[in-house]
Structure 1
């Protein structure tokens, strides 16, 4: 699916490989996942959640390339900025806002990295890295399209190599990277974590946007991809480590163990031009992101864990392993009372690294049919396409007994192409994630389409997630209404 890519680890084949402390290239092994309803009751969150110690806003410009328009490409250049309290960082949008970027320092070297709640590693390419295509054939560095020449580890006075280890990861869209491992001072929005373990990539198969130079992951240590030995082809022992925010909490750098993400949708104007999209959200450390919310529509629910032996969903303190920020979804519905999704399906991952919502087939098909005129699945594009003037049904998601509303704007965004009648075509932000019952290995995701409408605050000590409905908002650019969501990117590990 060329337009539905994810840099988030959602493949349970990869998870199973990790569980047995063996990994090379993830195989096609699949696992049947049965739905688990937590025995831990949802609760009303602390009121209010504390303000973040550090918040970094997301800001981006979006130059458009006609040559890449058919591939839904749009490049964003981030402008780091302080907003509110110290530990909040601005997120920038690239690839038609399908990726959210923020400025990250390795020592004193600056990089724009993808913000990903669906994977855990932090990495950038090493200066002089070798670029490959997805068939593992060497190509020019320009084809990897990183936003910088890479990290010069030898020029950093704070970098040290972790000997006898290697970084080796493959994402669900076929991208892969390998290299060395080291320790560096990593800084995001004023939050400086010393001796943070990072991957330094010397071999990359990466479909970049010309702005991002890697990725910063915020999921569980169990999804890190560092291995014993120096030859990635011989990897057989995973060595989990603390990702960036886990390290910040361990080092006592934040008042509360809260990671909070508020993603803004882009605008039609910016997605179809080179206009600047300001303030595309925040990532905040130590408290809730500084955006308007509807506090009466909030709930705290447990992160869903998995049995360490069987990898079936499980809660409790014994034999539970955490990978993703996943939750139980009780119901999905939309205009016309099409209540589709009940209690017989898998847990759902909250993932900033995936553009669309990937929902069960019956939900996706029925939702597409409820557009006026109906949206139609386009296998060439890998999305449901519809004329941009279509009336979009309101989509809702019920979690922990609280119903969250997805703005219709988040289910309609421009493809930059026209149909045979000259009508501009858009795509739905909700797509087919596979059958919900009797399926092996299907994993469903609430990506940016959903996350544009809530503030997701993760408590990594209690393994809970607080979701709060966002107040209606307008474009970060004061003169442009925010009408469109991010485009489709699905890079999962």
Structure 2
């Protein structure tokens, strides 16, 4: 993978992003204990982890596989080769992702650097058991959400991990703020839409700016809104006695032809760089996909809307805080591994029940700069100029 470079200016640090897995993932380089690996940039989770050298690989059913089957881009992070690594005894790391992938194993502390931003004594997972559908490039993940979403537990047996023995810790950017490494308590992300569709590496696909703004052109269309909190016991969005997990925004409406006949407001929608597609309420997805010319078709077995690769995508905008943020039609038709088969960028995320989490993924994020202020618990969305 091409080396990714960051630059430093007035305690603002910017990492360059690259695409992998046919540009379905955004990566940047992370250096831990002097060892550097490409890692997925994820605002939808909080843990920073690198697979540990000598790990055991499994499929999603938990059956042992060859190490190669997990598709990591390296043999893993060597804790013994790091001069700054310290074990965190009697605890374990245990995480599962929405697609069924899971990882577990030891925990430690080390010096971590991303885009020139360096922190010390950063807690991180070093999983030695992994079920991972890797891209052949990344060796881990950089989680950027809130501390209460982290995945370390006060047990040496990951199978016994529970809310009762959960030990929240400070993610990478929270640590940077507490160590006074950044001027401002926010980070910003600009994801470029794919350019080459290279299966392994598509360089210069955006920026992750710590304490500042990415170097991309933006319009004056911007809004700052509160990040929605959750009730700890029910997991339902609330405004009282909240805990913060995701970067959840209150969506006033999803706007497209005939959308006024639907109830499209939703306050349980997260901005997630780790998810390619938009996953929205069933009626929103159904009615929007009916507007493609020719219409999208829903495959029950795969749970996906498929579209003709030369279809015309209808206009779609997201109303956040009273401002409309349109999605470029180019982002609404995605090619698959089969270049002749395409899917819609907006998919069915389920019925709009209070505890269902909907996602504005990369399809939306290609069109905006998202700025996450984790001290003020505010999110600023700024429309990018057309590119």
Q: TM-score band (shorter)?
A: over 0.9
**8 A contact 2:101–2:131 mirrored in 1:** yes
Taking structure 1 as the reference length, the TM-score comes to 0.75
**8 A contact 2:280–2:358 mirrored in 1:** yes
Counterpart check, 1:443 vs 2:368: no
Q: Distance in 2 between matches of 1:209 and 1:332?
A: 32
**Unmatched segments (≥5 aa) in structure 2:** none
Q: 1:213-228 counterparts in 2 under 5 A? A: 213-228=139-154
Which structure shows the bigger proportion of residues in strand conformation? 2
Corresponding position of 2:180:
252
Which of 36, 39, 44 does residue 118 from structure 1 map onto? 44
Q: CA deviation at 1:385?
A: 1.4
Q: Distance in 2 between matches of 1:234 and 1:417?
A: 41
Q: Distance in 2 between matches of 1:275 and 1:223?
A: 29
**8 A contact 1:82–1:90 mirrored in 2:** yes
Which of 199, 206, 212 does residue 287 from structure 1 map onto? 212
When structure 1 is superposed on structure 2, of 306-315 and 164-173 the one drifting more is 306-315
Corresponding position of 1:413:
334
Corresponding position of 2:243:
321
**8 A contact 1:120–1:218 mirrored in 2:** yes
Corresponding position of 1:458:
372
Corresponding position of 1:297:
221
Q: Distance in 2 between matches of 1:199 and 1:414?
A: 34
Which of 74, 92, 110 does residue 184 from structure 1 map onto? 110
**8 A contact 1:82–1:88 mirrored in 2:** yes
Which of 154, 158, 168 does residue 240 from structure 1 map onto? 168
**8 A contact 1:124–1:150 mirrored in 2:** yes
**8 A contact 1:117–1:352 mirrored in 2:** yes
Counterpart check, 1:82 vs 2:6: yes
Q: Distance in 2 between matches of 1:344 and 1:405?
A: 16
| Residues 161-208 of structure 1: CA deviation (Å, up to 9, x unaligned) | 011111111112211111101000000011001000000111111111
Give secondary structure in 2 for the equivalent of 1:128. Answer: coil
Which of 169, 173, 180 does residue 99 from structure 2 map onto? 173
Corresponding position of 1:490:
none
Q: CA deviation at 1:340?
A: 5.5
**8 A contact 1:263–1:452 mirrored in 2:** yes
Q: 1:53-72 counterparts in 2 under 5 A? A: none
Which of 307, 324, 336 does residue 231 from structure 2 map onto? 307
Q: CA deviation at 1:156?
A: 0.6
RMSD across aligned positions (CA): 1.8
**8 A contact 1:124–1:199 mirrored in 2:** yes
Q: Distance in 2 between matches of 1:463 and 1:376?
A: 39
| Residues 93-135 of structure 1: CA deviation (Å, up to 9, x unaligned) | 1111111000000111011100000000011111111111112
Give secondary structure in 1 for the equivalent of 2:111. Answer: strand
When structure 1 is superposed on structure 2, of 274-283 and 99-108 the one drifting more is 274-283
**8 A contact 2:327–2:364 mirrored in 1:** yes
Q: Distance in 2 between matches of 1:115 and 1:194?
A: 20
**8 A contact 1:332–1:341 mirrored in 2:** no
Q: Distance in 1 between matches of 2:146 and 2:200?
A: 36
Give secondary structure in 2 for the equivalent of 1:110. Answer: strand
Sort the Cα spacing of 1:309 and 1:171 in 2 relative to 1 into closer, same or farther, 3 A.
closer
Q: Distance in 1 between matches of 2:261 and 2:227?
A: 23
Corresponding position of 1:358:
279
Corresponding position of 2:309:
388
Sort the Cα spacing of 1:123 and 1:341 in 2 relative to 1 into closer, same or farther, 3 A.
farther
**8 A contact 1:95–1:209 mirrored in 2:** yes
Q: CA deviation at 1:235?
A: 2.6
**8 A contact 2:33–2:112 mirrored in 1:** yes
Q: Distance in 1 between matches of 2:261 and 2:319?
A: 12
Q: Distance in 1 between matches of 2:300 and 2:37?
A: 35
**8 A contact 2:7–2:115 mirrored in 1:** no
Greater length-normalized contact order (CA 8 Å, ≥ 6 residues apart): 1
**8 A contact 2:17–2:203 mirrored in 1:** no
Give secondary structure in 2 for the equivalent of 1:210. Answer: coil
**8 A contact 1:327–1:347 mirrored in 2:** yes
Q: CA deviation at 1:416?
A: 4.5
Q: Distance in 2 between matches of 1:341 and 1:84?
A: 47
